Chain A
Amino acid sequence: MQKFSGFELFRRALGGHKSWQPQWRNPEPKAEYDVVIVGAGGHGLAAAYYLAKEHGITNVAVIERGWLGGGNTGRNTTIVRSNYLFDESAALYEHAVKLWEGLSQDINYNVMYSARGVLMLAHNHHDEISFKRHVHANRLNGVDNEWLTAEQVKEFCPPLNIKSMRYPIIGGALQRRGGTARHDAVAWGFARAADSRGVDIIQNCEVTGIRRGPSGAVEGVETSRGFIRAKKVGVSAAGHTSVVMAMAGLRMPLESFPLQALVSEPVKPAFPTVVMSNTIHAYISQSDKGEMVIGAGTDAYTSYSQRGALHITAHTLDAICELVPQFRRLRMLRNWGGIVDVTPDRSPIIAKTPVPGLYVNCGWGTGGFKATPGSGHVFAHTIAKDAPHAINAPFTLERFRDGFLIDEAAAAAVAH
């Protein structure tokens, strides 16, 4: 792998940048791999990278229907935080945040992780109790999160309107280590790092079937480019996971919804942090490029169409204009949708399945981006060891049968 650094950039600039090699190869699929990962999004690529790096398993293919990083990895609002309530979630997301903090150096790709802080706004007494419960639980779990009064909220994020609004802001919960990262760079960085360790990333290759042997165990995947043999198949296909898993005869406890996001035209720095308001349904941050990156909840109806309804966008912007009324004159530049797979408890599934050799990482709903390195890391462990890592052990498929749910959304009424 060609090293990326300021010096290399300078050196190769003198040669007109002619000597840069592909960041990843464009290989033909081999007949057989040790592990096939379905879905070259951030999670799948991270899993492949950690399989190679941590477990020495390099005969790995990541197969992708379209282009790598083209699903939710490239469509989200790039928020990273770990101030989750329950022990299980806090451990998982905190694991990810710790990896985020050193990720650029680890994979030698600037993913622009920016700990700008994630500020969640409280508008009523219920929000306050809920956030304080988080703050206390997070402290005891070693996760940073603090309660701010309304005045402290204003001081931390001066553009916010806190008073003259329908639901004035009475305080907020701030995770200073939270922030944003550059989503495409995460996919590309993991792709390049995995590729350099021997992983084949095979784009434009759609999975059309999962072949199981007489024992029921996985034998490989049928694809639009032929059969690929593998004893272990990890599915990391986000919104289409249920479709892929059905090929192995498994009906997943997932529903897929469109989730919209939008950006404004770029402007000079005007918003210093990430702000989320679940009560009035919106979140906003400013990208390095200057665009205001805005999102909210999912559309109400299940769909595989990567777009949503106008009224959801309109309601999101109602809330943004209420929170930051000076932004009413900004303009929406682009509005898009992704498909998120949602479990009954809105927590992910990172687990073995009833099919031997088939593993699944799904159900991230609206919050998958922030977990990318952590999720890939424990998914790789699960595949390599055929047993979950301690961190993802609670995130089983069976919990929906047995009821050991990890219901962050219900507990906190907070979107991921």
Chain B
Amino acid sequence: MTNRFRTASGGRIDRAAPLSFRFDGQTFSGFKGDTLASALIANGVHLVGRSFKYHRPRGFLSAGSDEPNALVNVARDAARAAPNLRATQVELYEGLKAQSQNRWPSLSFDAGAVNDLAAPFLPAGFYYKTFMWPAGAWKRFYEPKIRAMAGLGVAPDLPDPDRYTQNHAHCDVLVVGAGPAGLAAALAAAESGAKVILCDEQAELGGSLLSETTATIEGKPAADWLAATLATLTARDNVTLMPRTTAFGYFPHNHIALAERVTEHLAAPGPDLPRERLWEVRAKEVVIAAGALERPLVFPDNDRPGVLLADSARTYANRYGTKVGERAVIFTACDAGYRAALDLKAAGVSIAAIADLRAEVSGELPSRALAAGIDVRPSTVLVGTKGRLRVASAQLAKVTKGAVGPAETIACDSVLMSGGFTPSVHLFSQSRGKLVWDGAAGAYLPGTSVERERSAGACRGVNGLQRVLEDGYAQGEAAALAARTYTSPARGATPAPAAPSRSIPASAEDLGTDGFIGATPHGRNPAFTKAFVDWQNDVTAKDLKLATREGMRSIEHVKRYTTTGMATDQGKTSNMNALGIVSEALDTPVPKIGLTTFRPPFTPTTFGLFAGAARGDVFDPVRKTAIHDWAAEHGAAFEDVGNWKRAHYFPRAGEDMHAAVARECKAVRASVGMFDASTLGKIEVVGPDAAEFMNRMYTNAWAKLEPGRLRYGVMLREDGFVMDDGVVGRMAADRFHVTTTTGGAPRVLAHMEDYLQTEWPDLDVWLTSTTEQWSVIAVQGPKAREVIAPLIEGIDLSKEAFPHMSVREGTILGVPTRLFSVSFTGELGFEINVPSAYGRAVWEAVYAAGERFGITPYGTETMHVLRAEKGYIIVGQETDGTATPDDVNLGWAVGKAKKDFVGKRSLLRESMSAPDRRQLVGLKTTDPKIVLEEGAQIVADPAAPVPVPMLGFVTSSYHSAVLGRSIALAMVKGGRARIGTKLMVPMPTHAIEVEVVEPVFYDPKGERLNG
């Protein structure tokens, strides 16, 4: 197909660079610099989509990010498919492939269009009133049908292979929007020496200047001024220009999020480039120069392909060298319609008529239109359009004293409408600034600021090119000054309106402030007309009126009931007209109706941008100990514990987990095993008040713990429930080596810091995480002392000199060590702490030294079994945030004489001594071969009617190779009093009999601890 609708010359496209692309399987051509929209229009294609509800044929409404209709799927390949992209924002590249959406079997013949015929029965909110009978049919029948009809594009079904990166940036002044106001603001701020970032969502910087053909600035054509200004800004090293970058979110404290599209416009993106970049900008000052969006007019059948916003049609002509049609009818409520008419006429489009809603038509632009011989009709409205897949005619009617006269049909292939401009206050509102209704401007404008920002140009109601430029310059200068004198965030202040500080003479047509909000009169039976307010969601003026009739008085209710403004354009073209219609229906002025909240993002923003690099192994850090590689080399299976990888068990050839664990357990009990305990959290608590701090944080008493001794510590939350535990060594009077659970380490440190910094700032204590500084090698078993003795220097390992629960400092193989005599297996045991850099070497030396005893490396599963045989709890397994120390038989660890500790007061509450509290017990199945399911519940009578009273649950359950039977730990109501009784563990199909026993299954007297 040829570019039949190209202008003879002009525009910013590169006519020397033709591009080939496909839309719905058909090949077209366009030029470099085109958007998919402008290229399709150049080829005479306007039918590009189907609406959400009625599946009405739809064409382009706008030329920018406010486009509600022209949503397409662009796919580079099967995995790189993106639905719902606006054709008006998709930059053309060679080979681009786009598909229309929400139609079947084809765009021109869509079976879903039957909805349009049924439209009388599908008013706003119809689904709330029906589909309720028979009960249950909603889920089985109606909902699947509705779901299949709803939705727009098709989600990709392959993982996105592209990369997204995330960056931070700081600047003095961030300018959002590179139209005339933004450019002038950036220029002014840059000249003041400020560090400036200027971003704009479009491929080219320049905003409205890109569509100017006749305006001049400082004596130059606007395009030349733009080029010169960009050259000036580019040359400055204090300015960063960011095209294709949307400021989509304004977060507290001038934290603004930008989405930069890096490769989306390239035919062959290099593999080294990310698809998009997230920029998190912290700006001292922000200048919002977001411009204004043209409003459509709400009249019957205003949605046919070929009905566009007038200024967008002008942009297609002036910027893209593309004619939206051959013969246009214009419907306007302001001078923008005339400006478009004149520019399109100049581009070779015949203007059939201009219907002007206004009675008084005067001023420069209308005069020029008249002079050009255009048929200008004041007090005239469009009361309808005709045409199946493209507008073919428009019906014009005169309005006399509010009455709509007979309609005259005028043939045309395009209708251009303009209801005036709505300032883009999205970011300002996101910043929590207060919007105020300006009656003269007929718009909501920025009022009181909350953040350090200021608006410039059209987005704050300034119009006329020269005034916009001068306002931009003044705001930019003021922002730079404010950034220089930055003290503290100003709240609730309105920036003083900066007076123009520099004259930037410019000539351009002045559009004035005329406009219209609401639905234009048409005199037709509303039951048979559809005047669209929200194109994408198919919300019509009568839907809004129905909502008000049904009692929806708040604009939020109207929005939610009709879905107006909830489409992917988030109401950019619809919200103000909806307000106008509701205002009229409720006979309440617009500012009294209220305004829906502007929420981020400004335009839809890719999930991948937020996720960035976080996927797979970098989704969360993979933490490995110094001994990890040795374990991997020795065949360990690993498990995730928090973000650590821990050796789970060390299978030998032919062994499954159970066989490996049985062997490992027996080896530890019979001789000696070694275990990598490095992942345990470690915190060095140091300072003159360290003991006092420990006293307050833990239930135990620490004051009398002598240096060189260990103590098992229990930490509670404020509510008195066990939060964490761990062995603590007192290294010196003012120094504790605290260990925590693996998963609890960050939580415990934060908990300690929280108290230290907020409750007890008077305590002289420092907390340092040392988890990763120490490797911890547990050597456990009757032969443990013999294994390590030859390696240790400077520590007397004899039972008398180094009793159980002691710590000594010395060296192992010349490496400094903190040696703990401690056991989590019930056997004689040591934990060798060495600096992580030596972890593997010391581990290997211990392994070599243990070979003659058959030393067996074991993993977390064996560790779990061995400790369960001894009835040692694991916080998070036996405890669940509802267990007190006494519940888990740790009452002895609570310092009764202590004045206070975190959780002490809670322990005194009535519930804490209730007789039916769950208590830690052991369970033995009557059939020793049955291993209970962890998490299974315990009852007295499994045959009791539902709800079956539950007594407790199984917390840990294993087969014990050493004992030759299954064992389990459980929390059971009044459990200690039930020892010796039988209870049942009900499963879905049967119940298992268990005996309640003491929770210590092995060496109950603890004789093996001392070797």
Contact = CB atoms under 8 A, between A and B. Distances in A.
Nearest to B127: A110
Given A23-B551, A333-B570, A5 B608 contact: no
A13 B121 contact: yes
Contact of B159 (A134, A188, A328, A336): A328
A87 B255 contact: no
Interface in A278-298: 280, 286, 288-290
Given A288-B147, A330-B155, A115 B935 contact: no
Nearest to B551: A22
Given A140-B947, A269-B148, A329-B156, A166 B616 contact: yes
A331 interface: yes
Nearest to A179: B139
Interface in A329-360: 329-336, 344-345
Contact of B138 (A4, A112, A331): A112
Interface string B854-893: 0000000000000000000000110011100000000000
Contacts of B79: 326
B910 interface: yes
Contacts of A8: 129
A16 interface: yes
A411 B933 contact: no
A137 interface: yes
B159 A325 contact: yes
Given A188-B128, A333-B570, A328 B608 contact: yes
B116 interface: no
Contact of A309 (B251, B556, B912): B251
B170 to A, nearest CB: 16
Interface stretch (A54-62, A238-246, A310-318): A310-318
- Pick from B81, B278, B620, B720 the residue with the most CB of A within 10 Å: B620
Contact of B554 (A113, A116, A203): A203
A8 B131 CA distance: 12
Interface residues of B, number: 115
A131 interface: yes
Interface string A144-173: 000000000000000101001111000000
Interface residues of A, number: 121
A21 B947 contact: no
Contacts of B148: 268-269
B382 to A, nearest CB: 22
Given A5-B129, A10-B121, A328 B611 contact: yes
A165 B906 contact: no
B877 A129 contact: yes
A385 interface: no
A314 B612 contact: yes
A402 B909 contact: yes
A329 B937 contact: no
A266 B151 contact: yes
Nearest to A336: B599
A209 interface: no
Contacts of A316: 610
A16 B526 CA distance: 8
B49 to A, nearest CB: 13
Given A9-B130, A268-B153, A289-B151, A136 B936 contact: yes
A17 B546 contact: yes
Given A4-B129, A126-B877, A310-B280, A329 B146 contact: no
Given A20-B546, A105-B135, A329-B80, A289 B620 contact: no
A3 to B, nearest CB: 9
Interface in A73-122: 74, 87, 90-91, 102, 104-105, 108-110, 112-116
A105 B133 CA distance: 8
Contact of A4 (B130, B526, B936): B130
Given A267-B154, A329-B81, A334-B570, A410 B881 contact: yes
A110 B599 contact: no
Contact of B606 (A126, A136, A322, A329): A329
Interface string B583-603: 000000000000001011100
20 contacts: A5-B130, A104-B132, A114-B143, A116-B139, A126-B877, A137-B950, A166-B622, A188-B128, A264-B607, A266-B152, A268-B155, A286-B147, A288-B147, A306-B597, A307-B251, A316-B610, A321-B607, A328-B159, A328-B164, A330-B156
Given A320-B607, A328-B159, A335-B601, 4 more contacts: A9-B130, A288-B150, A329-B156, A401-B909
Interface of B: 52, 79-84, 120-121, 123, 126-133, 135, 138-139, 143, 146-148, 150-160, 162, 164, 249, 251-252, 255, 257, 278, 280, 432, 525-527, 542, 546, 549-554, 556-557, 560-561, 563, 568, 570, 597, 599-601, 604-608, 610-612, 614-620, 622, 639-641, 719-721, 876-877, 880-882, 906, 909-912, 914, 933-937, 939, 946-948, 950, 953, 955, 986, 988
